[in-house]
Amino acid sequence: MAEVVSVSMSGDIALVSIDSPPVNAMDQKVRAGLKQAFEQLRTRQGVKAIVLGCKGRTFVAGADIKEFDTGIAPPGYYEVLAAIEDSPCPVVAAVHGTALGGGMEIALACHYRVAHDGARFGLPELTLGIIPGAGGTQRLPRLIPLEAAIDLILSSKPMPAAKARELGLADAVVSGDVAEGALAFARELAARGAGPRRTRDQAVLGAENAAELFETKRAQVAKTMRNRQSPLALLDAIEAAVKLPFDQGLKAESAISDRLVPATEARALRHLFFAEREVRRIPGLSAEVKPRPVTRLGIVGAGTMGGGISMCYANAGVPVTIVDATQAALDKGMATVRKNYERSVARGSLKPEQMEQRMKLLTPSLDYAALGEADLVIEAVYENMALKKEIFAKLDAVVRKGAIIGTNTSTLDIDEIAAVTKRPEDVVGLHFFSPANVMPLLEIVHAKRTAPDVLVTALETAKQIKKTGVVAKVCYGFIGNRMMDPYAREAEHCLLEGATPEQVDGALEQFGMAMGILAVFDMAGVDIGYLTRLERKHLLPDDPTFYRPDTMLNERGWLGQKAGRGYYRYDSARKRIPDPEVVELLWAEGKRLKVEQRKPGTAEIQERCLYAMINEGARLLEEGVALRASDIDVVYTSGYGFPRYRGGPMFYADTVGLKAIYERILEFRRTLDPQYWTPAPLLEMLALAGSSFAAWQAGRGNQGAIST
Ligand code: 3H9
């Protein structure tokens, strides 16, 4: 028997135990071990019941995701789960941690489920672009009501043990040792002489109104999960459970699953699953380098960003001292934080006492000296080099030796900021995204002199506040904003060429961006980019059409949502309303500047914006600003609303084909302003070699390592 699965006896109860760190994923070894264990137990004399549990931190966390690309070696999931379900004596799952995906499907194939009170059950397959493919679509609606089963899988969110008990999924919830609890449960079954209770033999619960229910869910999914195939396919699979006998239902599930696993959507989501974990590995950084502890935080700037970052740390139980220049700014900042927490309380996601605990962790102060004890101080004032330098000089004077000083700049040269201190090795960029308490991304900017343990601390603190930290090097805009620049430049230019804001944003949203870029500008404030461009005027192209619409709106004070109008008008509920005056104004300006009126259509708008962004991404890789193509994908999907099901811009580029993108860029160079359409040398090289960003990344080994 494979050693990852062991069998032992406790009286007349057999204990089957899976031990395959880190998360007991159901890989080939686990499958083979389980099959062998249950086959042996079938014929073993004197076994009255079986408890199936896991060692380590969790019950099985799912199928081994790597196998979806390498192929599933026998025994297959169905075969293994059938061996469990066919057991002649009752099988009790002992669930602790998270029973996810294939792990939950194992639990469903068991005859009873005993859960630890901290356990959670979930089928998150849609987050991977697939459906539960080990019988989950057929067994779950036989254990909990059909609609609850559909909602659990559609949401991809695990449910707590108590809810599982309420719905009838868990037969008992225990605190303390779940194996002991399950053993006691099994003994009781044995004492009663209970036999197996096979899920497959039960009827689907709540099937009466199934037709209507599926119609509603399909309409809902078509609206909320646009451009995706797995959610609708999931509903087909669950409907098979209602319409077909169990074995035929399994066949339907299997056919759908086989179709989805190799599809682009699933490949893209798998790519992100691993990319989001890969970002933690920094080539060139020794595992010996340990992080500095971050137990007290300092923030400079009580504005939107400072407040949001403070909340992240207070949520993690870390005390925060917030310094600002005036009492009024501090009061306003603290009031905003409280309001944000109150909203969570009103929504029910936070208890009032938790809110008070978190508020108590925040100490406002007018005195920089109050930051003297902090382990990490993050400067979060507005984008202005002179101001940031002044603050860093002050911090250098008060912050204790060994503390780290971070800047939340989104565009500025961190080497220049660090140079005003006597400890540039303690300075790092920590670029949060607005709203900082919500957005999952943290760009960690490794400046020239940042010390290795400071970088490691930055990665660790990202984890501490439940963010995905991605390392970048210093350049204008780092990864995210630098790629955003050419993307938005094209969107802006299309307006001068006769496209309306709705057409531009519509094209980007049809592609799957969470929000069109013009609507994003309106939301963030049209002045933000404008002011940055003013600061960098000497570096920008000598082109009167460059971001001209943005400049015109600024000149008129049409600064977006906060002004009630920008690229669009806004009603009191901040709903976008097309503004013919803006359209006319920009068209007239386009004609005045002799911009060719191409009236670009959806495909052209998408290609121009996205290919300009991808080309810039290739440059970032050449320059070593981004360590990996997949890091760029993580930045864009977690910070910029790029659709996850397309895998991020660089993965998407590979799916289109770099040759096709390269040729289109050459065509744009002929037909549009050539100064913007020089293919990045890396893109050109890979395109001409018939290669991809993924292949380039795989072949790089330790090249591009952070030099420490
Ligand atoms: C499925 O089950 C389909 C079935 O229906 C059958 C269809 C036919 N596979 O996240 P962490 C690795 S689909 C392979 O940092 P945490 C992970 O890469 C699956 N590897 O830990 C990492 O490796 P490394 C449905 C996996 O404590 C290490 O384990 N299940 C898998 O923050 C630690 O992971 C899911 O979608 C896996 N399934 O979170 C659950 N899971 O250290 C996916 C983890 O080398 N997993 N790894 O980078 C999770 O959500 C989290 O890992 C979990 C732990 C919550 C379990």
**What does the H/E/C string look like for 263-295?**
CHHHHHHHHHHHHHHHCCCCCCCCCCCCCCCCC
Give the distance from CA 11 to its chain's centroid: 47
Would you say 161 and 120 are in contact if contact means Cβ atoms under 8 Å apart? Answer: yes
The answer to whether the beta carbons of residues 512 and 645 sit under 8 Å apart is yes
Q: Which of 3, 39, 79, 105 is catalytic?
A: 105
Query: How many angstroms separate the first and last alpha carbons of the chain?
Result: 46
DSSP at 76: P
The pLDDT value recorded for residue 330 is 97
Question: Does residue 63 have its Cβ closer than 6 Å to ligand 1?
Answer: yes
Question: Which domains does the chain show, CATH number per domain?
Answer: 5-260 (3.90.226.10), 297-476 (3.40.50.720), 481-624+658-691 (1.10.1040.50)
Say how many Å lie between the CA of residue 200 and the centre of ligand 1. 27
Phi, psi of 65 (to 5 degrees): -65, -30
Distance 50 CA to ligand 1 centre (A): 26
Work out whether strand 468-473 and strand 112-116 pair parallel, antiparallel, or are unpaired: unpaired
Checking if the pLDDT of 41 tops 90, the result is yes
Q: What is the pLDDT of residue 707?
A: 59
- The helix or strand, by DSSP H or E, that contains position 441, with its residue range, turns out to be strand 441-446
The pLDDT score that the predictor gives to residue 535 is 84
CA distances from 423 to 397, 401, 579 (A): 11, 9, 51
* Atom of ligand 1 lying closest to residue 103 CA: 2
Tell me whether residue 379 is one of the annotated catalytic residues: no
Q: Using omega within 30 degrees of 0 as the cis cutoff, is the peptide bond preceding 580 cis?
A: no
**Which DSSP symbol is given to 674?**
G
| 100 ligand 1 Cβ < 6 A | yes
**Average pLDDT for 344-349:** 95
Q: Which of 39, 79, 125, 383 is catalytic?
A: 125
Helix (H, G, I), strand (E, B) or coil at 319: coil
Which pLDDT value is given to residue 706?
A: 65
Q: Measure 539 CA to ligand 1 centroid, in angstroms.
A: 45
Give, using CA atoms, the residue closest to atom 43 of ligand 1: 61
What span, in angstroms and rounded, lies between the C-alpha atoms of 68 and 274? 13
Tell me how far the alpha carbon of residue 55 lies from the centroid of ligand 1, in angstroms: 16
Q: Is the confidence at residue 186, as pLDDT, over 90?
A: yes
CA nearest to 203, candidates 142, 253, 145, 249: 142
Closest by CA position to 233, among listed 259, 215, 212: 259
Residue 563 has pLDDT above 80, yes or no: yes
The string of pLDDT tens digits covering residues 399-440 is 999 999 999 998 889 999 999 999 999 999 999 998 999 999
What's the CA dihedral at 234, 239, 242, 243 to 10 degrees?
Answer: -130
Q: Read out DSSP for 336-398?
A: HHHHHHHHHHHHTSS-HHHHHHHHHTEEEES-GGGGTT-SEEEE---S-HHHHHHHHHHHHHH
pLDDT for the residue numbered 65: 96
The 159-160 sheet, strands edge to edge:
98-100, 120-122, 159-160
CA-CA-CA-CA torsion sign (343, 346, 351, 355): positive
Output the residue whose Cα is nearest ligand 1's atom 4: 102
When pLDDT is averaged across residues 684-701 and rounded to a whole number, the result is: 94
Tell me, in angstroms, the distance from the centre of ligand 1 to residue 61's CA: 6
Closest by CA to 605, choosing from 479, 483, 515, 497, is 497
Is any ligand 1 atom within 6 A of the Cβ of residue 466? Answer: no
Please tell me if the CB atom of residue 102 comes closer than 6 angstroms to any atom of ligand 1.
yes
Beta bridge partners of 174: 116
In this predicted model, what pLDDT tens digit does every residue of 217-274 receive, in sequence order? 999 999 999 999 999 999 999 999 999 999 999 999 999 999 999 999 999 999 999 9
Q: What is the DSSP letter of 699?
A: T
How does pLDDT run across 603-651, given as a tens digit for each residue? 999 999 999 999 999 999 999 999 999 999 999 999 999 999 999 999 9
Gap from CA of 577 to ligand 1 centroid (Å): 43
What CA–CA distances, in Å, run from 463 to 71, 311, 379, 449, 628? 32, 15, 20, 23, 20
Ligand 1 site, residue 133, Cβ cutoff 6 A: yes
Average pLDDT, the chain: 96
Distance from C-alpha of 608 to C-alpha of 611, rounded to nearest angstrom: 5
State which ligand 1 atom lies nearest to the alpha carbon of 57.
Answer: 27
Does the structure show a pLDDT above 50 at 1? Answer: no
Q: Whose CA is nearest to atom 6 of ligand 1?
A: 133
Q: What is the largest CA-CA distance in the chain?
A: 92
Cis peptide bond upstream of 291, omega within 30? no
Q: Given its phi and psi angles, is residue 255 left (phi above 0), alpha (psi -120 to 50 degrees) or beta?
A: alpha
For ligand 1, say whether the CB of 124 is within 6 Å of any of its atoms: yes
Of 368, 306, 372, 383, the residue nearest 340 (C-alpha):
306
What is residue 572's predicted lDDT score, i.e. its pLDDT? 85
Q: Does the active-site annotation cover 581?
A: no
Query: Residue 278 CA: which ligand 1 atom is closest?
Result: 48
Task: Kindly calculate the radius of gyration of the chain based on its CA atoms and give it in whole angstroms.
Answer: 28
Q: Is the CB of 498 under 6 A from ligand 1?
A: no
Give the residue-averaged pLDDT of 328-353.
Answer: 96
Q: Which residues contact 148 (CB under 8 A, 6 or more apart)?
A: 167
Atom of ligand 1 nearest to the CA of 125: 13
Both tokens assigned to 525: 């404030």
Sorting pLDDT into bands at 50, 70 and 90, what band is 54? very high
For residue 627, CA distances in Å to 407, 532, 638, 677, 701 come to 21, 26, 17, 24, 11
Total Cβ atoms within 10 A of residue 234 = 28
Instruction: Report how far ligand 1's centroid is from the alpha carbon of 62 (Å).
Output: 7
- The residue whose C-alpha atom lies closest to atom 30 belonging to ligand 1 is 62
Hey, is 320 helix, strand or coil?
Answer: strand
Establish whether residue 321 lines the binding site of ligand 1, counting it when its CB lies within 6 angstroms of any ligand atom: no
Helices (H), 479-597: 480-496, 501-511, 517-524, 526-535, 548-555, 580-592
Among 308, 326, 325, 434, smallest CA distance to 378 is for 308
DSSP strand pairing (404-407 vs 112-116)? unpaired
Closest listed residue to residue 550, CA positions, set 596, 592, 585, 593: 585
Q: What pLDDT shows up at residue 702?
A: 67
pLDDT above 70: percentage of residues in the chain = 99
User: What three-state secondary structure class fits 197?
Assistant: coil
Q: How many residues does the chain have?
A: 708
One DSSP character per residue, 77-127 reads: HHHHHHHHHT-SS-EEEEE-SEEETHHHHHHHHSSEEEEETT-EEE--GGG
